[in-house]
Amino acid sequence: MQFSEDEILLIKLCKGLVQICDRINRGEPAYLVEDSQPFPQPLYEAFQGLSLKWILRDEEMRHPAILCMVEGARKSVEAVEPDFSEFVDYPEDPLIGNMTRPSEECEAWASRYALNLEREQNQSYIPRLMAEIERLSLPHSTYTLFRRFIAENPFPSDLIIALFRSNNPDIDPVLDLLMQAYRDAPPQSESMPLCKTCGGYLDCAARDIEGCCEPLEGRVDRAPIEDTVICLIRPSLIELRLARTLEKMGLQVELWPELDKADLKVTLPTGDIWAIDAKDWGSATMLARELNQDTIPNIGQSQSFFVIPDYRWTNLAYQAAFKSRYKGNLPVFSESELIKRVKGVLK
Ligand SMILES: [Zn+2]
């Protein structure tokens, strides 16, 4: 039997949604946390097909975050199969918040998935940057310079890049990799602006990140690729904020020391070194699960800490969800608790 392209797309879509609903019905998570592929394969393929359709039809991507497409998919299914739609449309669907966007849990998993998959296949520019720095015996500070530039410049013009190069000649051997963090700016419109802080589209759960995501004013030529947004710029917001605060207190701070063994290496006036990993995750559950298996490698520190942003920690539900699941050995502080501790030492 021959199917048309549309029928194949619909079959894949339905199959994927049914698999997800089956999991929910059986009391399992809709996505398999420990699996290399958390979502059903047909759903990925259907979303790819739908995206292409939208781009061909409207010349724009309707649902930039892949998980927003679950909502799009729901509507498409509704249009052709009302009975089926009733069957799949659960009010407590854990993937979608407010019926319009993926839940934080969903986004958190999505970013982890993208990062790990890229790392495993060694495709991302970050592991290749690390390898190049070792191969060419460049100073480790090259990594910090590289990363900080991207975190602080989501939309660099040619002039900004030229200035960066002339101030930092160590960057030239890895300039190709730096440029891989960016792409030509995607279509920008009033209905779908980019975020001026992280460079991502605004239609995503990252709106919950403090200071993110407000619309960019004016047009830009160059924007970060999605991996850069998810894996580098957004996680760096808290890291840069902490570095600035600690530097203002007169401390010596090194970001991402020894090729990213920690987020911050803080040297106290006593000579003691603190190693800090900062985590701005929307899902407290996923964060606890992650930190239960995480340590900070040796960079000469006497103490190690995990730090969580105040704006997340003051949410008592978040804090409780984290504390009930965190079984690790390292102390976990909010940003202000960490600063209090530093002040205590400085007295
Ligand atoms: Zn943003």
Please state, in angstroms and rounded to a whole number, the distance separating the CA atoms of residues 9 and 51. 11
Measured CA to CA in angstroms, residue 42 lies from 11, 20, 184 at distances of: 9, 11, 30
> Which pLDDT score, from 0 to 100, does residue 26 have?
53
> Which pLDDT score, from 0 to 100, does residue 4 have?
59
Is 109 a member of any domain?
no
Q: Which of 183, 211, 230 marks a domain boundary?
A: 230
Please state, in angstroms and rounded to a whole number, the distance separating the CA atoms of residues 170 and 223. 23
Residues whose beta carbons lie less than 5 angstroms from ion ligand 1: 195, 197-198, 212-213
Contact 284, 311 (CB under 8 A): no
Within this chain, do residues 79 and 154 fall inside the same structural domain, yes or no?
A: no
C-alpha 157 – ligand 1 centre gap (Å) = 19
Is 301 a member of any domain?
yes
C-alpha 281 – ligand 1 centre gap (Å) = 14
Q: Which of 67, 102, 137 marks a domain boundary?
A: 102
C-alpha 232 – ligand 1 centre gap (Å) = 12
Q: Is the N-terminal amide bond of 213 cis, ω within 30° of 0?
A: yes
C-alpha 24 – ligand 1 centre gap (Å) = 31
Is 107 a member of any domain?
no
Within this chain, do residues 210 and 298 fall inside the same structural domain, yes or no?
A: no
pLDDT values of the chain reduced to their tens digit, one per residue, 347 residues: 445 566 666 666 666 665 665 566 455 676 666 666 667 777 777 777 777 776 777 776 655 554 555 555 555 544 444 443 343 333 333 444 444 344 555 444 444 434 443 444 445 788 889 999 999 999 999 999 999 999 999 999 999 999 999 999 989 999 999 999 998 887 776 666 788 888 877 655 556 788 887 888 888 889 998 778 877 898 899 999 999 999 999 999 999 999 999 999 999 999 999 999 999 887 788 788 889 988 999 999 999 999 999 999 999 989 998 999 999 999 999 999 999 999 999 88
Contact 306, 330 (CB under 8 A): yes
Measured CA to CA in angstroms, residue 49 lies from 52, 59, 184, 201 at distances of: 5, 14, 23, 21
Within this chain, do residues 78 and 155 fall inside the same structural domain, yes or no?
A: no
Within this chain, do residues 293 and 259 fall inside the same structural domain, yes or no?
A: yes
Is 114 a member of any domain?
no
DSSP symbol at 242: H
Cβ atoms < 10 Å from Cβ of 120: 11
Is 314 a member of any domain?
yes
Residue span of the structural domain in which 316 resides: 234-346
C-alpha 216 – ligand 1 centre gap (Å) = 10
Angle of CA points 244, 170, 119, to nearest 5°: 75
Is 187 a member of any domain?
yes
Please state, in angstroms and rounded to a whole number, the distance separating the CA atoms of residues 268 and 270. 5
C-alpha 199 – ligand 1 centre gap (Å) = 6
Q: Tokens 């089956």 identify what position?
A: 22
Question: Is 306 exposed, middle or buried, given 0-12, 13-18 or 19+ CB atoms closer than 10 A?
Answer: buried
> Which pLDDT score, from 0 to 100, does residue 36 have?
66
Q: Which of 180, 211, 230 marks a domain boundary?
A: 230
Selection from 35, 30, 33 nearest residue 19 by Cα: 30
Within this chain, do residues 67 and 32 fall inside the same structural domain, yes or no?
A: yes
Phi and psi dihedrals of 144, rounded to 5?
A: -65, -45
Please state, in angstroms and rounded to a whole number, the distance separating the CA atoms of residues 184 and 134. 29
Please state, in angstroms and rounded to a whole number, the distance separating the CA atoms of residues 18 and 16. 5
Within this chain, do residues 246 and 282 fall inside the same structural domain, yes or no?
A: yes
Contact 21, 70 (CB under 8 A): no
Number of compact structural domains in the chain: 3
C-alpha 235 – ligand 1 centre gap (Å) = 11
C-alpha 217 – ligand 1 centre gap (Å) = 13
Is 119 a member of any domain?
no
Within this chain, do residues 292 and 333 fall inside the same structural domain, yes or no?
A: yes
Is 240 a member of any domain?
yes
C-alpha 201 – ligand 1 centre gap (Å) = 7
C-alpha 112 – ligand 1 centre gap (Å) = 17
Angle of CA points 21, 24, 30, to nearest 5°: 85
